[in-house]
A and B are shown apart, each in its own frame.
Chain A
Amino acid sequence: MLAYRRGQPIRAGQFLADVAQGVSALGSASHVLNVCADRYLFAVGFAACLLSGKVSLLPPTHTAEVIRQLSEFAPDVVCLTDAPDCDIDLPHVALTLDATMGRVATPAVPQIDAARAAAFVFTSGSTGTPVPHRKTWSSLTADVREAPARLGLGARPCAIVATVPPQHMYGLENSILVALLNGHALCAERPFYPADIAAVLAGVPRPRVLVSTPVHLRTLMGSGVELPPLDLVISATAPLAVQLALEVEARCDCELLEIYGTTETGQIASRRPTAGAEWRLWPGVVLSKRGEETWVLGGHVEEPKRLYDVLELTGKDTFMLQGRIADLVNIAGKRSSLAYLNHQLNSIPGVLDGAFFHADEPDGERADVARVGACAVAPGLDATGLMAQLRQRIDPVFLPRPLLLVERLPRNSTGKLLQAALRALATPQPKTTRVK
């Protein structure tokens, strides 16, 4: 079985027929922004690109500004969508299943050139322009082929249910590629509410795998909905609290494994948090220190890539995660940087000076969803107008709370802006002074 969609199984023969329809729908464009929300249709579109020499573009967000930048990067880009009301400002190619109900009688596994560019995955960068990372088919898939050994996803074909979208690396690898490469079945639905997650899981046969995030798992546990028996839970995007990991394993009666990966490198390590905090690297992957920075190379990582976390190397293939670097912003699995957000804020006409800050102390209890705030000097603008402009430029999870309009920013005597000083502006002043 290759997929389940609305409870119905889909076999490889139908998938290949649907892919052939996708190839003809896409026409001559050589770059494709695949925004299909239906995971099966996304897989059809992704495979259609692979088989017809097109490159998939995977940006971190779909704001108007990023879409404009994408069309500068690849002027022939088209938007492959399954939503009739899709408002992305690019030429649309509609993908629906109503038109694609054929079947290939004797499906043969397509062969794909390992060295060809399969995708450009973008990070937000720090200068206002998304940074493309070229992914060959081999670099995209070599780590996924380790999944049977590292995640125990080997012996029996599993049904994979994911709460994350396929448009980012974690979801692409663990809900699309792992299924297509290792003989598992992907589930077309992307359940959002806890009751939906339980219903989609119950609608597919065991063994069942849930691919999720700390954000979704916390809500799932908190909601109290009844879950069918699971066989594996995978989490990524932010470290999972051990207490939550214990609860997930107890409620789901299976192991919970965490994956560590980045857009630039794909997945490079895993751990079972209830068994220990140490991460174990994927085979062949080597970490090295350059001063304070950690770099990764080897295995499926074909060029040296910097990691934007603070890592302590504890052995040849093990490490501990110590936290994020100060500039990094990671909210519910979406990554940005203060430098990028500041650039966007200061690019708005009328903003004289502005800066984002971490609204919470770093590494607090809710570090995976801690929001950002911003201060701006913009005499001619009000907060509502400024927020509307920011909405055009940055992903909603990074919109500032609070957004403070001030007369000047709290720069110190050397002109530097300290995070603590910005945070203090957003915090009500204590009424009493501490006495020694």
Chain B
Amino acid sequence: MPPPRSSKLRYMSDHATPLKHLSSASDSDLLPEIAGLIVEALNLDVAPGSIDPDKPLYGEGLGLDSIDILEIALVVSKRYGVQLRADSAENGGIFGSLRRLVAYIGAHRTR
């Protein structure tokens, strides 16, 4: 998939410095972290803090489309070891909002 739009884009895994260890982070710490991850991965022109955690991430909300969702899934699998599945995504509506995505990752992360 597609890393978005510009060659400026880097994956989190490309960073030279080690990532902060996060296994003890609670959802409230995860929320800004994942908001930042989304903005960086998709090269969005918004501040991570300005994403409404209760609005849909796709369509009318943040305006993401299926290409973006695949990209987020890839970043999430690399960073947290969570492989998203369509049935889990639908049943939980995890892209229904940033808060739901964060809760799902918090519950299923392996790293």
Count: A-B pairs, CB below 8 Å = 90
Which residues on B sit within 8 Å (CB–CB) of A366?
A: 2-7
B34-75: CB near A (< 8 Å → 1, else 0) gives 000000000011000000000000011001011100110110
Which residues on A sit within 8 Å (CB–CB) of B60?
A: 388, 391
Are the CB atoms of B3 and A359 closer together than 8 Å? no
Are the CB atoms of B65 and A396 closer together than 8 Å? yes
A282→B103 CA distance, assembly (Å)? 51
Please judge, given known A-B contacts A215-B67, A364-B7, whether A332 and B2 are in contact too, CB under 8 Å: yes
Query: Among the listed A194, A387, A401, which residue makes an inter-chain contact with B5, where contact means beta carbons less than 8 Å apart?
Result: A401
Contact of B85 with A by CB under 8 A:
yes
Most buried by B among A216, A218, A222, A388: A222
A406→B3 CA distance, assembly (Å)? 28
A196→B88 CA distance, assembly (Å)? 11
Contact of B83 with A by CB under 8 A:
yes
Are the CB atoms of A360 and B66 closer together than 8 Å? no
Which residues on A sit within 8 Å (CB–CB) of B77?
A: 194, 222-225
Contact of A399 with B by CB under 8 A:
yes
A258→B68 CA distance, assembly (Å)? 24
Which of chain A's residues 43-57 have a Cβ closer than 8 Å to chain B? none
Are the CB atoms of B67 and A397 closer together than 8 Å? yes
A88-96, A311-319, A338-346, A368-376: which one contacts chain B?
Answer: A368-376
Contact of B1 with A by CB under 8 A:
yes
Query: Among the listed A196, A365, A397, which residue makes an inter-chain contact with B86, where contact means beta carbons less than 8 Å apart?
Result: A196
Determine the residue in chain B with the shortest Cβ distance to A387. B63
Give the 5 A-B CB pairs with smallest separation, nearest first.
A369-B2, A219-B1, A195-B83, A396-B65, A371-B5
Partner-B contacts on A (CB < 8 A)? 191-196, 199, 215-216, 218-219, 222-225, 331-332, 359-360, 364-366, 368-371, 387-388, 391, 396-397, 399, 401-402
